[in-house]
Amino acid sequence: MEVLRVLNVAPSQLHPNSWGYMQAFAVLCRAVGIRPTVGLFLHFFRCRPVEKRGWVSLISEPGNALLELYLQSYRGFKDKFFKVSITPAGQRHFFGGDGNPKFPLYWTQDPQRFTSWPEDKMTIEELEALSVLTSLPRPFSSRELINCLEFDDADARVFESSSARTAGPQCTQPQQDAPVVVSLSTDEATVVEQPLVRKRKVKAVDTSGAVSKKQKEVADEPKRPIPLGVWDSSFTLGHKVELNLDSSEKAIVENMSEQQIADAALEMSTRVQMLTWHMAYASDRGLLRAELEKLKAQHKEIVETYAVCESRQKRSEQLLKEAEVLLNDARNAGQAFKKERDQMSSELVEAKKAKAELEQAKKEMATLIKERDGWRAEALESKDLVEDLKDAVMLEHTRGFRKALRQAGHLLNVSTEGVGFDIQKDVYEGELRALSEIPGDAFMEEEEAEEVAAAEGPIVETAVDAAPGTTAKIVID
């Protein structure tokens, strides 16, 4: 079903030889103990649908053939079909749980084209199974593999067939017309997916050599008593052998004379006798040695694979430890970075705060500078004013001193001209001394009394009762 779904073809659209490939592949996989899958099967084939005809055939991949054709030429099957009616009880074999068919039920116009299913699309299980199949001697005969289903020990006969292919020619097993069996009953129609149980049939052979396009009618072989042994006269195999020769092979045989045929038969019988004797008496040790060498090779491969797996496991463990160390380092670095980030965040907050304080200090400094400049300007103005006041006081003092001299000369009738008055000197202790030689508090009491008198106002006393002809005394305080 999976193959039909992948190829997108109906069951009757697939060529019978392709069905033979699938049946033989299932027998081979069961014998070697692997699970058959679509990818594993299609790895050995390619599909080239014919658009005009609609038939789909699987072709063995060149250089990678696993199976041989079941029949070299199929005739008379394209015009014979039967209808399968699906009953409700048998729908589970054709439809899934969602109601969709498991494979196309009718011929399709777009079958899948592919060349050898690629290995990169296979699972690990499929790759291991592929290594087992490629290690076997190939190609296998699809007919011989399918004929093994007639026996109870089918798996063992598959291995015998494989060993015989490597050792020499093998007798052909009974043939079969088609590898697909469909069982019909009154209750349901099902496609048999279990190993086929074939009936032995005898075909009528045309001795004239003419090949008909349709196969002859086949009759069931009548039942006979069981032979007593291989030497029993009733135990005959000639009627069970069928040779499917094409026109070229038949031409070779027909062109041989009786003498040539007799010589060839004698030579072949002699070779068969020699090979049979060798196989019976002289080849046991060789087969055992071959099997032993094969087992040794498999054991060596398994040991190498185990060593590779063990080294990879150690490498994986080492990488895991290194990864844990790197993870711990990364965690520590992350914690350190987080701590530094928090510290930088706090420092950034303090820096912003310091910046705000600096801006405030700058503003206050600007205010203080402005006030200082104002005070400096006021100080300069005060200094200039003090200088001006000093000059004014000095000038006023000088003017007052001169005014006092003029008044003293006028009032006392004393001439002050020619007298060297010096404002930088004063009379102290009856002598005229420089101001620097006179103590600062020498005239403190007199100056305080004069200040008090000046505050009370000037007192002028005039002697009105003075005698005529005398000068009146004027006291100025």
- Cα gap 22→145, rounded to integer Å: 11
467 pLDDT more than 80 = no
pLDDT in tens, 332-370: 999 999 999 999 999 999 999 999 999 999 999 999 999
pLDDT value of residue 320? 92
Residue 176, C-beta contacts closer than 8 angstroms, at least 6 positions apart: 70, 143, 146, 147, 198
Which has the closest alpha carbon to 162: 140, 130, 147? 140
- DSSP-derived 3-state class of residue 336: helix
Number of C-beta neighbours around residue 23 at 10 A: 23
Q: Are strands 45-47 and 58-60 parallel, antiparallel or unpaired?
A: antiparallel
DSSP bridge partners of 425: 434
- Cα gap 254→59, rounded to integer Å: 31
pLDDT value of residue 188? 36
430 pLDDT more than 70 = yes
> Which residue reads 């592949």 in tokens?
25
Please report, as a single letter, which amino acid is at residue 190.
T
171 pLDDT more than 60 = no
Determine if the pTM surpasses 0.75. Answer: no
Continuous H helices in 95-240: 124-134, 142-147, 154-167
Q: Name the percent of the chain in helix, strand, coil, to the closest 5.
A: 55, 10, 40
Q: Are 35 and 29 in contact (CB under 8 A)?
A: yes
Q: Are 51 and 213 in contact (CB under 8 A)?
A: no
Residue 372's φ and ψ, nearest 5 degrees, are: -60, -45
pLDDT mean across residues, the chain: 76
Q: Are strands 425-428 and 431-434 parallel, antiparallel or unpaired?
A: antiparallel
Task: Name, of 52-61, 127-136, 173-182, the range with top average pLDDT.
Answer: 127-136
pLDDT in tens, 299-324: 889 989 989 998 899 999 999 999 99
327 pLDDT more than 90 = yes
139 cis-preceded (ω within 30 degrees of 0)? yes
pLDDT value of residue 162? 63
pLDDT in tens, 54-110: 788 888 888 888 898 888 877 777 777 777 888 888 888 888 888 888 888 888 888
Q: Give the tokens for residue 303.
A: 């040991």
